[in-house]
Structure 1
Amino acid sequence: MKSAVETLNPTRVRLTVEVPFEELKPSLDAAYKKINQQVTVPGFRKGKIPARIIDQRFGRGAVLEEAVNDALPKLYQSAVEEGELSPLGQPEVDITELKDNELLTFTAEVDIRPEIEIPDYQGIEVEVEAAEVADEDVDQAVEQLRERFASTTAVERAAAEGDVVKVDLEAKVDGEVLEDGVAQGVDYTIGSGELLDGIDDAVTGLEAGGSATFASELKGGSAAGREAEVTVTVAAVSARELPELDDEFAQLASEFDTLEEMREDSRKRLADQKKYEQATQAQEKVLDALLELVEVPVPEKLLQDEVESRKHQLVNHQLGQLGLDLAAYLKMQEKTEEQFEEELKEQAGKGIRTQFVLDQLVSTEKLNVSQEELTEHLMRRAQSSGMSPDQFAQAVVEGGQVPMLVGEVARGKALATVVEAVTVKDTNGEVVDLDEGDGEAGDEAEAEAGASEAEAAEAGASDESADQKSES
């Protein structure tokens, strides 16, 4: 077999493969054997029909077609390996010549990973927010905890800011009550902004038994994004009482004996959180700076597939769970469909370029993934998915997703390698040491940026894919 590679553009090649007919003999024998098991010829036992009889009865062409379809995947894979290519997606196979007992020639066009040269990235410098915890931050955290331990007492007066009201709601659109527009016994804290726009003004000043009607744009449900006429009826009014900020509250709300100890613990937790956020911000900014230094061509078909995948995920899963369709979502976001498509294309392109660059770094830096690192990553992914580690691991193995997880960990290590080599300063001009606490942040930041569909597309360049293309 002889093969030649023609570069069509930086991300696509055409393979031309010439196969001497003798190399098709194993597939030709397999074709005769398969046809033998499928057909019946009077005078011959099943499976014992001579090849010349099959040629006479069913045509040599049918045998050749079966043999070529059997051989193509293996021949294509050999040509890919000989050309040292990294294909993405399915090849487009075209049989250009088939001379019985002489020669088979075919071409295969396929997208490939572009060749990427990683520049010297040590000169990158990024700025992140300083991980400072002010007294006001601690006050706010303690106040939020205090809010959680607030008690309510029923009062016989008009509702006011901060009160908890129990309300019944009825929403109409075009004068018709919506099937999903009725709710009863809903507890709402006036001023929290957790329900409909306009409800605060409507219920303020109402006593138990009072009603009001107001107009509001619905956020979800069957009429999401449309203006509705909402009637709210107050069933009860309760005043909220906050506990005193003292040692007794600290003992109630935490494991500490004094308010000062509880405040110090809040300060430490806030510091850890800000350090985590700082590490994540550093990862994102370093990645953006690295991508600006590298020219990364993106295969058009891969980009289209990624855009469609992200759009499908948003429309059919995320928005579907909220009871929204794309039109309602775009209205809420104040975007046109063209703007949405352009943003989606930009995000998808960045995701693919990110994966290409980080995968090249994995190769350049010769990074490996240990079993311990893979297990830690699996545990984190299981936790975020709501599954137990055993359930998640089983799903990963059964779905053939282990290589994908290995890739995620490797790319996380690649990004961490770059972050360690560059200069990160905070807004105070101080050099930031990200050695502590940035591992998990780096892993999660990479997971958000990495284009997992690009990994799946690469896996699509399989023998079966070549077979299917040749048959079509």
Structure 2
Amino acid sequence: MKSSVESLEGNKVKVYVEVEESEFDKDIDRAFKAIAREIKLPGFRNGKAPRRVLEARIGVGPAREQALRDSVPLYLARAVREHHVDLVAAPEIEITDGAEEGGVEFDATCEVRPEITVPGYGGLRVELPSPTATDADIEEAMDAERRRHGSLGDVDRPIETGDFVTLDLSATRDGEPLAGLNTEDWSYEVGQGWVADELDEHLVGTSAGDELAFSAVPNGTDEAADLAVSVKAVQELVLPEVDDDWVGENLGEHETVDEWRAALIDQLAEQKLAQARQQYVGEVTNALALLVDIDTPAAMVQNEFQARLKNTLEQFQARGVDIQQFLSATGQDPETFTAAIRDQSEHAVKLDLALRAVATAEQIEVSDEELDAEFAQIGVRFGEKPARVRKAYIDNNGVEDLVMQMRKSKALDWLVHHAEAVDTEGNPIDIDLLLDHDHHDDHDEASEPVSEASAAPPSSTDQASSTDQASSTDQASETDQEDGK
């Protein structure tokens, strides 16, 4: 087989493939063997009729057509791999010679992943919540603990946000009661936004004994309903006074207010630092993706969208969640739900292109030792020896994809070490604090589109990169073809 590649405009290339007659004849021979299993001929066991007998009976045409269908995608897959053509969509294949006899020539117009540059990636600046606990944070934490130990007391005044009210509630639509929205003696904290936003608006300013009637769209629905509310009692949460005695009696770990405050400072500092660390990688990837100013290839976005949608629906199914019930409970329609996934998909594609660009610009490569270590880690996760993992990737042409994922992860590692982080007030945050933990899992999740994720060694039916396998070229059986030559 001979092949060549010609660059075209618009992130496309044309792959030319020429297969000699002697080589293609072996494909025809395999096609005759397949046909033999489908045809019963007197005097021959199923599948054992020789080619010359079949050719005399049906001619060479059916076998040649079958050979073209089976082998052209495989020849193209070989050419794509040999020339490192980074397919992102199904190619357009045209047989230019050999449809009837002789050797075979064809070309394939292929959309490829664009190679971009990302100006400014070395000076990313991201904003994070401050990893330092403020006095306001400490007071808020202390008040939260006081609320947990508070008690309700009756009040003789109009309702305020934060009060606890006892209600009788009924809701109807077209005169029919709505399930779950008819109850008596319901205790509710005003301001929580339950039932409907309008409930809090109508309750504030009213008093015990008042009757309310209004229309509103209940949460999780899209149609208005008639609500009737009877206010039976109003109470406020009375918070305890904080002193050493109260701390000693109610917070067994501490004996004084000062001890409690000091412990809260340490606890909040740890929590806020963990929050900043968790957000840091995500903010860096967001800032990087914003630097990509090209129109993302529609095929790449569609591949990513389909992979993410499939993954999401499978997660719902695994958890026993009905998608329609989820949409209703979250107030979404299918269009809004899928639009959000498509936006995520476009962001993931931009991030993929940008990380590849950074890896190229910074000359980031993967050493043999690093690749061996990755095979070993994958083997540990899946209970396989590193040699078997390596063989699986080699046999199924997955090494190149794995290496690229590793390069992208290393590129992201470079970025998070070179970015600048500030808090909401513009104060610098020490990057070393943000990186002083095992953040490689954050990198893997942030840098790898769902359509390219490869958690396990690739099998013959599950290549390492579904985006790269978007074409109709099925490489799964290529080894069989080569063995037959």
Shorter-chain TM-score range = 0.7 to 0.9
Task: Name the SS for the 1:139 alignment partner.
Answer: helix
- Give the equivalent residue in structure 2 for 1:324: 328
- Give the equivalent residue in structure 1 for 2:28: 28
- Give the equivalent residue in structure 1 for 2:57: 57
List per-residue Cα deviations over 1:380-438 (Å, max 9, x = no partner).
xxxxxxxxx99xxxxxxxxx9x9999987764542231121244455666543222343
Query: Which segment is superposed worse, 358-367 or 142-151?
Result: 358-367
- Give the equivalent residue in structure 1 for 2:352: 355
Aligned residues: 433
> CA–CA distance in 2 between the matches of 1:43 and 1:88?
50
Alpha-carbon offset, residue 105 of structure 1: 1.9
Matched to 1:302, the amino acid is M
> CA–CA distance in 2 between the matches of 1:243 and 1:231?
35
Matched to 1:358, the amino acid is L
CA contact (8 A) 2:352 2:448 kept: yes
Classify 1:312/1:232 alpha carbon distance in 2 versus 1 (closer, same or farther; 3 Å).
Answer: farther
Matched to 2:328, the amino acid is L
List per-residue Cα deviations over 1:302-334 (Å, max 9, x = no partner).
2234456667888996974444299x6379xxx
Q: Give the structure with the larger strand fraction.
A: 1
Alpha-carbon offset, residue 259 of structure 1: 2.6
Task: Name the SS for the 2:93 alignment partner.
Answer: strand
CA contact (8 A) 2:166 2:233 kept: yes
List per-residue Cα deviations over 1:205-242 (Å, max 9, x = no partner).
5548x75322222220xxx1322211234576665343
CA contact (8 A) 2:327 2:333 kept: no
Classify 1:355/1:29 alpha carbon distance in 2 versus 1 (closer, same or farther; 3 Å).
Answer: same
1:464 aligns with 2:469: no
- Give the equivalent residue in structure 2 for 1:415: 412
Matched to 1:303, the amino acid is V
CA contact (8 A) 1:279 1:434 kept: no
CA contact (8 A) 2:195 2:218 kept: no
In structure 1, stretches of 5+ residues that fail to align are 332-336, 379-388, 391-399, 468-472
Aligned counterparts, 1:384-399, within 5 A: none
- Give the equivalent residue in structure 1 for 2:267: 269
TM-score (norm 1): 0.73
Identity %: 27
Alpha-carbon offset, residue 139 of structure 1: 0.3
Matched to 1:458, the amino acid is D
Task: Name the SS for the 2:229 alignment partner.
Answer: strand
CA contact (8 A) 2:288 2:351 kept: no
Alpha-carbon offset, residue 354 of structure 1: 0.3
- Give the equivalent residue in structure 2 for 1:382: none
- Give the equivalent residue in structure 1 for 2:75: 75
Matched to 1:267, the amino acid is I
CA contact (8 A) 2:355 2:408 kept: yes
> CA–CA distance in 1 between the matches of 2:443 and 2:145?
29
> CA–CA distance in 1 between the matches of 2:158 and 2:424?
45
> CA–CA distance in 1 between the matches of 2:74 and 2:93?
13
Matched to 1:435, the amino acid is D
Task: Name the SS for the 1:15 alignment partner.
Answer: strand
List per-residue Cα deviations over 1:150-187 (Å, max 9, x = no partner).
3446x597884444345443322344333454456643
Matched to 1:67, the amino acid is A
Matched to 1:260, the amino acid is D
Aligned counterparts, 1:79-90, within 5 A: 79-90=79-90
1:434 aligns with 2:431: yes
1:301 aligns with 2:299: yes
Classify 1:194/1:405 alpha carbon distance in 2 versus 1 (closer, same or farther; 3 Å).
Answer: farther
2:229 to 212, 225, 232: 232
Classify 1:109/1:261 alpha carbon distance in 2 versus 1 (closer, same or farther; 3 Å).
Answer: farther
CA contact (8 A) 1:87 1:461 kept: yes
CA contact (8 A) 2:29 2:51 kept: no
Classify 1:432/1:237 alpha carbon distance in 2 versus 1 (closer, same or farther; 3 Å).
Answer: closer
CA contact (8 A) 2:98 2:105 kept: yes
Matched to 1:436, the amino acid is L
Task: Name the SS for the 2:114 alignment partner.
Answer: coil
CA contact (8 A) 2:90 2:471 kept: yes
Alpha-carbon offset, residue 144 of structure 1: 1.7
List per-residue Cα deviations over 1:347-375 (Å, max 9, x = no partner).
53332010122245456322557569968
In structure 2, stretches of 5+ residues that fail to align are 384-395, 454-465, 478-485
